[in-house]
Structure 1
């Protein structure tokens, strides 16, 4: 089921890309090439759910660009807000979230010191990533574990991570 839904999303995005290529020309090779303005001008011609899939991908690309800028500027509040918007789009437009992930995000956003929360991965289950001020991590873990278990009967695993350098090539001598 999950893999078929994942493949369906890919096909829906391909249909959206084909539509924009036909409408806007060969400069459109992927949804990343469609501007928000172009999307808004054309969205009424796209059927459901294709319009929502395209809206998610196009707006997510802009959120990523804005997120990079926010991180460069050290603006973690803005980055956190972008995470929240991303989750809403994944839930409503791309439809890959699930009740458990939505609950984790909702619980997280009610906690003091949380700047952002969203699901991560391909969807249809998995985990969330949360941006939390360092001083609130202990309280966050305790509260989320207790509340999530009380509501679902499931004891969640919570891993604390921190940013690090990405992948890179190392020369071995």
Structure 2
């Protein structure tokens, strides 16, 4: 892949100079959805799918971007003096946002670059193609300009800042953290309130992680994602009147039930309930995995989807069909929506001898029910972002 992209870069940009290569993975969250901006725990892992970047320095301040995924857009030109959001800039608003966030922190970018991007994460699938591109840009800038003091956790935080304040999606830290800090064959048990984390081995004897893409694209900026965050923030303010907490993630289920009447709106009560219960599910799920109790882990995944479907209301008809089909199949230990919601993908734990049947039967039935096909990825857990 690297050699092919380098040749494409040379054909496109011509010229001479050192060419460097980078990669940042996408992620799948095994459990712990919409807890990251509520001060709770998440349990994502980096994938071997992700975004590649091929880069060469320029001796001026010009930036030239090209995506092999959006060939019709051609080369998009801008400069380091034009780091402002622009709808006409299309996908380049994501790397531009990271450059803006670096400069805001005092890291001066002294020259422009020619950049070629290629990603094999399906766009809009909920596997964090945008976070992958943000973290990729952070690694490019750290390496290109010698910002050795910038850690990989810093790169995750800079990526989140750029998405929140440059691109307008009020996301939590999980996606960028998983892309930056991933570790092969491990998931990251991350406390989003403190950024304390530990790597937990994902040992699925006789089972695989299967991601199913509903082919229903979501756009978190345009969706109800920001509304959900706002509802949780209001619920937290109401709860603070009766209990000393700084985030919903600090509450146990029992504490939530004792104080929930302080939340004056039934919808906000459901949103807060999901944030609290999902956080506790995530803690129990990681413990189950440590005890090699994959069956309990699967049951907690199922309960997670139920909550996302009815309490948080971020699922959709197509996703619910995929989950219902999966949960009814022999050999499926658990299945749930993953990512921000409103489309995208499901993640399932499937016994090895059931994987082929899972793909063929669910693929056939889903197409009959919704009129278009799904895509399936039997995935491996990979490392975080870096220089290739």
Q: Work out whether the TM-score is over 0.5.
A: yes
Q: Is the 8 A contact 1:20 1:34 kept in 2?
A: no
Q: Is the 8 A contact 2:231 2:271 kept in 1?
A: yes
3-state SS of paired residue (2:376): coil
Mark the structure with the bigger radius of gyration: 2
3-state SS of paired residue (2:275): helix
Cα deviation 1:112-151 (Å, max 9, x = unaligned): 1000000011011111001111111011101011110111
Are 1:127 and 2:345 counterparts? yes
Are 1:23 and 2:242 counterparts? yes
Are 1:11 and 2:230 counterparts? yes
Aligned partner of 2:375 in structure 1 is 157
Instruction: Say which structure is richer in strand.
Output: 2
Aligned partner of 1:94 in structure 2 is 312
| Aligned CA distance change for structure 1 residues 58 and 75 (closer, same or farther; 3 Å) | same
| Separation in 1, partners of 2:252, 2:282 | 14
| Separation in 2, partners of 1:159, 1:169 | 23
| Aligned CA distance change for structure 1 residues 5 and 168 (closer, same or farther; 3 Å) | closer
Segments ≥4 residues shifted beyond 4 Å: none
Count residues in correspondence.
Answer: 168
Once the 2 structures are TM-superposed, how far is the Cα of residue 166 of structure 1 from its aligned partner? 5.5
TM-score by length of 2: 0.41
Q: Quick one: which of 23, 27, 38 aligns to 2:255?
A: 38
Aligned partner of 1:75 in structure 2 is 293
| Separation in 2, partners of 1:63, 1:94 | 15
| Separation in 2, partners of 1:44, 1:22 | 11
| Separation in 1, partners of 2:246, 2:269 | 17
Name stretches of at least 5 consecutive residues in structure 2 with no aligned partner.
1-218
| Aligned CA distance change for structure 1 residues 109 and 16 (closer, same or farther; 3 Å) | same
3-state SS of paired residue (2:378): coil
Are 1:111 and 2:329 counterparts? yes
TM-score by length of 1: 0.90
Between the two structures, name the one with larger relative contact order (CA 8 Å, sep ≥ 6): 2
Once the 2 structures are TM-superposed, how far is the Cα of residue 21 of structure 1 from its aligned partner? 1.8
| Aligned CA distance change for structure 1 residues 65 and 147 (closer, same or farther; 3 Å) | same
| Aligned CA distance change for structure 1 residues 16 and 166 (closer, same or farther; 3 Å) | farther
Once the 2 structures are TM-superposed, how far is the Cα of residue 44 of structure 1 from its aligned partner? 2.6
Q: Quick one: which of 262, 266, 271 aligns to 1:48?
A: 266
